[in-house]
Amino acid sequence: MNKKIAVGVLGCTGVVGQKLIALLDGHPSFVVTDLVASENSSGMTYGERACWREVTDLSPNIRDLVIKRSYDELEAKILFSGLDASVAGDVEVWYAKKGHAVVSNSRNHRLDADVPLIIPEINPEHFALIKLQQQKYNSPGFIVTNPNCSITIAALALFPIHQSFGIDKIIVTTMQAVSGAGYPGVPSLDIFDNVIPHIKDEEEKMHSELLKIFGVYRGGQIAPADCKVSAMCNRVPVRHGHTMAISFSTKKAATANAIISLFSGVKSPQSLQSLQQHGLHLPSSPQTILQYFADPFRPQPLLDRDAGNGMTVSIGNLRPCQVLDWKMTVVGHNLVRGAAGAAILNAEYLLANGLVY
Amino acid sequence: MNKKIAVGVLGCTGVVGQKLIALLDGHPSFVVTDLVASENSSGMTYGERACWREVTDLSPNIRDLVIKRSYDELEAKILFSGLDASVAGDVEVWYAKKGHAVVSNSRNHRLDADVPLIIPEINPEHFALIKLQQQKYNSPGFIVTNPNCSITIAALALFPIHQSFGIDKIIVTTMQAVSGAGYPGVPSLDIFDNVIPHIKDEEEKMHSELLKIFGVYRGGQIAPADCKVSAMCNRVPVRHGHTMAISFSTKKAATANAIISLFSGVKSPQSLQSLQQHGLHLPSSPQTILQYFADPFRPQPLLDRDAGNGMTVSIGNLRPCQVLDWKMTVVGHNLVRGAAGAAILNAEYLLANGLVY
Amino acid sequence: MNKKIAVGVLGCTGVVGQKLIALLDGHPSFVVTDLVASENSSGMTYGERACWREVTDLSPNIRDLVIKRSYDELEAKILFSGLDASVAGDVEVWYAKKGHAVVSNSRNHRLDADVPLIIPEINPEHFALIKLQQQKYNSPGFIVTNPNCSITIAALALFPIHQSFGIDKIIVTTMQAVSGAGYPGVPSLDIFDNVIPHIKDEEEKMHSELLKIFGVYRGGQIAPADCKVSAMCNRVPVRHGHTMAISFSTKKAATANAIISLFSGVKSPQSLQSLQQHGLHLPSSPQTILQYFADPFRPQPLLDRDAGNGMTVSIGNLRPCQVLDWKMTVVGHNLVRGAAGAAILNAEYLLANGLVY
Amino acid sequence: MNKKIAVGVLGCTGVVGQKLIALLDGHPSFVVTDLVASENSSGMTYGERACWREVTDLSPNIRDLVIKRSYDELEAKILFSGLDASVAGDVEVWYAKKGHAVVSNSRNHRLDADVPLIIPEINPEHFALIKLQQQKYNSPGFIVTNPNCSITIAALALFPIHQSFGIDKIIVTTMQAVSGAGYPGVPSLDIFDNVIPHIKDEEEKMHSELLKIFGVYRGGQIAPADCKVSAMCNRVPVRHGHTMAISFSTKKAATANAIISLFSGVKSPQSLQSLQQHGLHLPSSPQTILQYFADPFRPQPLLDRDAGNGMTVSIGNLRPCQVLDWKMTVVGHNLVRGAAGAAILNAEYLLANGLVY
């Protein structure tokens, strides 16, 4: 077996940082060697500091790692970033210039012209932007990002339809889990027995990020997709798992059967066009990337968020829309498929394609 | 002071029946004299049977009423019906033929050609259908209905816009409270930490009922409105209060200010066109029928469902929609404005206009 | 009608501060003239700052008050304190020395030998300690305190039994609402679908405060009661209302009927021995101080926390205990009877007895 | 590898029945061959009927089993019973007489003089009662039972203390999960934002069953233990996992360290006295039967219910009690350790000891 690649986690004490560590613990290709958090955590071991909230136990070798500070020199080749947006911008660039592959879940650089915004099953050709950064920084380092949790889940459900029929309009109402707001995040007094009908900047992110993800790479640039996305984002009293009610219209006429058969076919990453070209299987790819339910009461976040270890996106209730063409329900795990798992999948892709070594 | 009108409640033990009784207790125009429930409750006093779940106490004169059975002869002129749809159809007709004004929250007769489906602030002219029933039954009795809880709340928010600009397309995603499913209703195991993305027949009702409510009465018939309604209905872990994310487009161009000023103007029933013609003030009408929030985090069901004693509809976050023209959030109390309070308001209108006496 | 007394609220933006203001708004004897909060709120109007989370609306005259800082000179005679324990200690003493009657819900001075810890229905004679403070400070000012929310509710239920039969042992398990932890307080990620079996210092407070409340005032001192209190404190996913499972033993033998008749008798403050001596009726006293349910499924926080506008304590399910003598369930509103309402009742008592004027 | 033993599940569609099937699917010693449910499910395959609510998928060989009726002849040697108490009594006896080993989670026969009530780590010697039944029925069949969910979890935590120091008094307040009430079970309207302070018959069961479990088998009889148990049972808004606040006193003086070291020692079934005598390791035994937390905020049902695949009991916060000697918090999974897993462990014990073959 090959030697594992050393990786670090920036922002290791937050909700995404903890989920990254939980998923990296025992990973077949990566071993966690560096943990970075804010000033007031540094110098402590992760076990002393972390206030671990994952249900699985923390392994001893991670528990004993001493937490470093941002801008400390790090050994690890790949740095996963779950940093808060208030600091991620500069820290990620600093480490990229130092030669690290920064695989970030933070929003700061997602829309930078030379930073790939990747869902590997959809747009791996966007990784080509990495070279622009390497030239700019004169360094082997770079930043790659994964999208916002909500749009990642929506994009995976919509992409096969977009490939086959072309999607031109999307109206999506999200019902988002509290874990998406981090920790301490949403006070219980605010969300018990309640819906909060606004999440700062979320609707804008869903719009602009989808256009980039579905965009076309050509000559060092991403031409954004030509579709309209309107999002209405809500927080609901659910722990994990974002639920989305999506209406959409297609450029070419489709049938319900044709759409559903697209979902059913997505049993492996190879069956999505782009990964197919690369013939890859990545360790965090679930056996079933998309699953469709005939039962109109599914998918539900409680029952379906953990499908495929949290990496499967679940779809149901496809039916005609009286205003656009179709409507459906989509559920995915916001912390796994929508954040930590998304970043790890990106890193696995980099490794499998020799973009880090 | 005038003598109060005797009223009865059909289906008095259910969630809507209990809310009807809570709202009728101490009502300035009505006094509850008849309570009707299913076979296995009849013969008991309401206090023995009801398993009262309202927070306010039950008054002694209602507690001591002996529950009757469907098809028992009743004294009360007006019968409020919170009957289950499995029995409401026949029972309501039977009492209408017997000469009672049946004011029903049940769905069975809502779409009957000669049964008015009323929100008094919107379409009181539809009450004219009553005469058709009286002729058919050769009786002073009749059935009037109020719409489904979700569409009542949505319709109140949309109506002033419809009047001023004409609405032609609506996409609405509901996040509905568990009390909308009655009692025992939604098992806690199904809805804790979960969203259920389907409610049987709800989407169809929202479509067909809105077209009738916004329809035009002419010559003994309702011509349905010419607009398209697409609903995606979800159950969320909220006790009371339905939240709706609504996108819509208008026939005439509107501005955000113009729309918001419509909401702000709706301080009394008179300010909605139709009630204005009648110069009425009804006891259950709230001081503010519609309230608009500048804060994008409002309305919220927890904070706003009880506004106007549950009769005010709250609106917020009006903003341009990238696909249709506008989007906004609407919240209302499903059991009050969407059910029991809606029926009582209908009865108050009947009384104030001499349609019952 | 008499002129209202000017009052202020220290710590006006917190959960208890907001509840104090909600209860003082429209109070027959008090008018809010001073609002005090931490440095970063001062200078703003309360309406700008407060992030109001009470369901009732804020009245304009309070909305427009400009927030002051601790140690600013204040006009109001009575200062209600909902200050955080980290600052309450010094601030309250400073204002007492300045001549104010500080009516505090904070824990800092509750166990001070010369500070009364009062539930007016139980131990109003402890107010005599005020004179010791006035001598010490050489000022008309003083501090009076109300107990911790949990022990207030438990003490009210236990006191009539203690008077009649003498209680010597109490084991109480609390199931406490999240609003008891303030705002932002308990993160939703921590308490959804969970019980947290520890609340810092709460068990110690329940023990030591009950002994003082039930203690005997003599010669300028409180001799603590001779009973043993063991508390096990838990946080549960409930918004408002603390539920307590209490076992206790009595010095004199009692019967279930005798105990229940004690509860039923407590229809007014006069029926508790101590207030009886004073023949008082206070504005915030509920008509029924204690209510007992025959139904073993009651009391429940959802249904009973708001009884008597949150000032009634509800009791149920009295039954023999196999280890001590009796066990029962007690529910009360932690923010009203257990905090803000308790402080206001103390101030009303001071006013009615000429201790402030 | 040995041939697997055929087993059946009586009451296969309920919450306990579904959990039994989830745990038996892939079990190393058992294979499910018979499924039994009420009249209106029989004749359908389990996949058609079950309304599967477990998060793990149902395996095809179980999905395709056709459901039988009670009193149908069955092949399986061992029958697990999750039957409702309204029918379990007669059905279980009927199958025992027919020669089956009925391993029941139902309460009906738990206190029968000749029916063992077993927690294998505590009182496996009580299995000797089986012979009395076999003689009575003149059949190789018999009934064995596991205790109520709450007392199972409490008993496991208390037993090592009882062995070492003798427990004579226990006061336990339970905070029980909604899954303990089955499906549909607790309506969401009853338990959202609430505590229900009564569970029918639960307190009596905790008392009487503990005395039998801790009782001494001698000469074909169980002499009940000599200790007093007082329970106060509450339902809280938690999906799975019962939390218990327990006070107790011991006959011999103990220290906190001595008690905690008892818990820490329980790493395998062998370390509890009784299983030690038998030198057994059972497939469903967790690596750690009891785990103790130094952190006073643990155990919590959300974080600890799934420890040891739901078979570990978690303990924390041992501290002196001001009334009895000690108090502590105990958490366990009510459906696994407290029901389905308990029954399966009993069956594994029977198999390992040649009591079925």
Contacts of A210 (CB under 8 A, 6+ apart): A147, A151, A154, A155, A170, A225, A227, A229
Per-residue model confidence (pLDDT) at position C194: 98
Q: Choose among D246, D267, D245: nearest CA to D312.
A: D267
Is B55 in contact with C193 (Cβ distance < 8 A)?
no
- Please state, in angstroms and rounded to a whole number, the distance separating the CA atoms of residues D44 and D42: 5
Q: Which residue of D has its CA nearest to C302?
A: D194
Q: Which segments of C57-176 are extended strands (E)?
A: 68-69, 78-81, 101-104, 142-145, 167-176
Residues of D in contact with B183 (CB under 8 A): 187, 189
Locus of tokens 């927690």: D119
pLDDT at res. A321: 98
Query: Which tokens is C79 given?
Result: 């200062």
Percent of chain B exceeding pLDDT 90 equals: 87
pLDDT on residue A281: 78
In 3-state terms, what secondary structure has residue A223?
Answer: strand
Which DSSP string corresponds to D124-159?
Answer: GGGGGGHHHHHHHHTSS-EEEE---HHHHHHHHHHH
Using only C-alpha atoms, chain B has a radius of gyration, in whole angstroms, of 19
**C209-220 per-position pLDDT tens digit:** 999 999 999 999
Residue B189: list chain D partners with CB under 8 A: 15, 53, 178-179, 183-186, 239
B188 chain-D contacts, CB cut-off 8 A: 178, 185-188, 190-192, 237
Reported as a pLDDT band with limits 50, 70 and 90, residue A67 is very high
Gap between the terminal Cα atoms of chain D:
15
pLDDT at A52: 83
pLDDT for C278:
53
Interface check for D236 against chain B (CB to CB < 8 A): the answer is no
Enter the ipTM: 0.94
Contact C144, C127 (CB under 8 A): yes
Which chains have 3+ CB pairs within 8 A of A?
Answer: B, C, D
| Closest residue in chain B to residue C309, using alpha carbons only | B56
What is the β-pairing status of strands A313-320 and A228-235? Answer: unpaired
DSSP string, A35-90: EEE-GGGTTSBHHHH----SSSPPPHHHHTPBPEETTS----SEEEE---HHHHHH
Is the minimum CB–CB distance between A192 and chain C shorter than 8 Å? yes
In angstroms, the separation between the Cα of residue A17 and the nearest Cα of chain D is 18
For residue A111, is pLDDT > 80? Answer: yes
Interface A:D, Cβ pairs < 8 A: 9
CB contacts, 8 Å: C188 with chain A: 178, 185-188, 190-192, 237
Q: Which residue of A has its CA nearest to D302?
A: A55
CB neighbours of residue C264 within 10 Å: 14
Residue C222 has pLDDT above 50, yes or no: yes
The residue of chain D nearest to residue B239, with distances taken between CA atoms, is D189
Cα C244 to Cα C92: distance, rounded to the nearest angstrom: 31
- Give the number of A-C residue pairs with CB atoms closer than 8 Å: 55
- In C, minimum Cα distance to A181 occurs at C189
* C245 Cα to chain D: minimum distance (Å): 7
Q: Rounded to a whole number, what is the distance in Å from the CA of B100 to chain C's nearest CA?
A: 35
**Does D178 contact B189 at a Cβ distance shorter than 8 Å?**
yes
Question: Model confidence over D46-72: pLDDT tens digits?
Answer: 998 878 888 778 889 999 999 999 999
D207 min Cα distance to partner chain A (Å):
33
Phi/psi class of residue C51: alpha, beta or left (left: φ > 0; alpha: ψ in -120 to 50)? left
Q: Write out the two tokens for A261.
A: 């058969």
Q: Which distant-in-sequence residues (6+ apart) come within 8 Å of A86 by Cβ?
A: none
Record: contact A55-D192, CB cut-off 8 A: no
Exactly one of A12, A100, A126, A149 is catalytic; name it: A149
Contact call for D188 and B183, based on CB within 8 A: no
Express each pLDDT in D123-146 by its tens digit.
Answer: 999 999 999 999 999 999 999 999
A189 neighbourhood in chain C, CB within 8 Å: 15, 53, 178-179, 183-186, 239
Q: What is the reported pLDDT for A3?
A: 85
Q: What is the DSSP letter of D270?
A: G
Q: Is C302 on the interface with A (CB under 8 A)?
A: no
Average pLDDT across chain A, whole number: 93
Average pLDDT score over residue span D225-238: 97
pLDDT at D277 over 80: no
CA distance C127 to chain B (A): 36
> In the Cβ-directed half-sphere of D168, how many Cα atoms lie within 13 Å?
9
User: Given pLDDT bands bounded at 50, 70 and 90, which one contains residue C269?
Assistant: very low
Category of C279 on φ-ψ map: left (φ > 0), alpha (ψ -120 to 50) or beta: left
CB half-sphere exposure, A326, CA atoms < 13 A: 28
Q: What is the mean pLDDT of chain D?
A: 93
Is A242 a catalytic site residue?
A: yes
Residues of D with CB below 8 A from C317's CB?
197-198
Whether residue D230 and residue C327 make contact (CB cut-off 8 A), yes or no, is yes
Tell me what pLDDT residue D350 has: 96
Rounded to whole angstroms, how far apart are CA atoms C190 and C201?
A: 19
Cis geometry, peptide bond prior to residue C184 (ω within 30 degrees of 0): yes
**Which element (helix H / strand E) includes B36?**
strand B30-37
Token pair of D332 as six digits: 């366990």
Q: Which of D26, D28, D37 is nearest to D61 (CA)?
A: D26
Partners of B52 in the β-ladder = none
Q: Are D77 and D141 in contact (CB under 8 A)?
A: no
Residue A2 reports pLDDT greater than 70: no
Confidence check: pLDDT of A245 > 90: yes
CB C293 within 8 A of CB C316: yes
Indicate yes or no: CB of B192 within 8 angstroms of CB of D178: yes
Q: Quickly state the pLDDT bin for B51 (edges 50, 70, 90).
A: confident
**What pLDDT score does D265 carry?**
61
User: Minimal Cα–Cα distance from B48 to chain A, Å?
Assistant: 30
With beta carbons less than 8 A apart as the criterion, state whether A310 and A333 touch: yes
* Cα–Cα distance for residue pair D166/D155, rounded to 1 Å: 13
Bridge partner list, A73: none
Could C187 and A189 be called an inter-chain contact, meaning their C-beta atoms sit closer than 8 Å? no
Rg of the Cα atoms in chain A: 19
| Closest CB to C53 among A183, A189, A191 | A189
Do residues D338 and D153 lie in contact, with contact meaning Cβ atoms separated by under 8 Å? yes
- In this complex, the residue of D230, D239, D317 whose CB is nearest that of residue C247 is D230
The reported pLDDT for the residue numbered B38 is 87
Q: Do B188 and D183 touch (CB under 8 A)?
A: no
User: How buried is D3 (Cβ within 10 angstroms: 0-12 exposed, 13-18 middle, 19+ buried)?
Assistant: exposed
Q: What is d(CA C307, CA C171) in angstroms, rounded to the nearest whole number?
A: 25
Q: Stretch D2-30: mean pLDDT, rounded? A: 94
For chain B, the average pLDDT equals: 93
Is C232–D243 a contact, with Cβ atoms under 8 angstroms apart?
no
Name the residue with tokens 């933070």: A106
Reported as a single tens digit per residue, the pLDDT across B261-293 is 998 766 544 445 444 445 567 999 998 899 999
The answer to whether A237 contacts B193, with C-beta atoms less than 8 Å apart, is yes
H or E stretch including B326?
strand B326-332
Radius of gyration of chain C (CA): 19
How sure is the predictor about C325, in pLDDT bands with cuts at 50, 70 and 90? very high
Cβ A187–C184 below 8 Å, yes or no? yes
Where on the phi/psi map is residue C266: left (φ > 0), alpha (ψ -120 to 50), or beta?
beta
Q: Which chain B residues are closer than 8 Å to A228 by Cβ?
A: 322-323
- Residue C35: pLDDT band (50, 70, 90) is very high
Between the CA atoms of A225, A228, A234 and A238, what dihedral angle is there, to the nearest 10 degrees? -50
Q: Decide if A247 and B237 are in contact by the 8 Å CB cutoff.
A: no
Q: What is the pLDDT of residues C151-205, one digit of tens each?
A: 999 999 999 999 999 999 999 999 999 999 999 999 999 999 999 999 999 999 9
Nearest CA to C74 among C38, C43, C35? Answer: C35
The residues of C annotated as belonging to the active site are 149, 242
Residue B174 has pLDDT above 60, yes or no: yes
User: How would residue A276 be classed by pLDDT, with cut points 50, 70 and 90?
Assistant: very low
Question: Closest residue of B to A169, CA-based?
Answer: B323
B295 shares contact with chain C (CB less than 8 Å) = no
Nearest CA in chain D to A303: D55
> Counting Cβ atoms within 10 Å, is residue A265 exposed (0-12), middle (13-18) or buried (19+)?
middle
What percent of chain D has a predicted confidence (pLDDT) above 70? 95
What are A11-25's pLDDT values in tens digits? Answer: 999 999 999 999 999
Tell me the one-letter amino acid at D306: D
Q: What is the Cα–Cα distance from C25 to B138, expressed in whole angstroms?
A: 57
CB D29 within 8 A of CB D283: yes
Q: Collapsing DSSP states into helix, strand and coil, what is residue D331? A: strand
Q: Residue A267 — very low, low, confident or very high, per pLDDT cuts 50/70/90?
A: low
Cross-sheet strand order for the sheet of A68-69: A68-69, A30-37, A5-10, A78-81, A101-104, A142-145
For chain B, the chains sharing at least 3 beta-carbon pairs closer than 8 angstroms are: A, C, D
- Cα B75 versus chain centre, distance: 25
Sort out which chain A residues have CB atoms less than 8 A from B325's CB and list them: none
State the pLDDT confidence band at B49, using cuts at 50, 70 and 90: confident
User: Is the previous residue joined to A299 through a cis bond, with omega within 30 degrees of 0?
Assistant: yes
Check CB contact of A16 with chain C, cutoff 8 Å. no
Question: At which residue do the structure tokens 């790890």 appear?
Answer: A344
Which pLDDT score is estimated for C276?
45
- Does pLDDT of D266 surpass 70? no
Q: Residue C212 has what pLDDT?
A: 98
CB of A234 within 8 Å of a chain B CB? The answer is yes
The reply to whether D306 touches chain A by the CB within 8 Å rule is: yes
Cβ-contact D107, D85 below 8 angstroms: yes
Q: pLDDT, tens digit, for every residue of C40-57?
A: 888 899 998 878 888 778
Min Cα–Cα distance to chain C from D111, Å: 19
Percent of chain C with pLDDT over 70: 95
Nearest-by-CA chain B residue for C55: B303
At residue B43, does pLDDT exceed 80?
yes
Burial of C353 (0-12, 13-18, 19+ CB in 10 A): middle
Picking from C113, C132, C237, C122, the residue whose alpha carbon sits closest to that of residue C181 is: C237
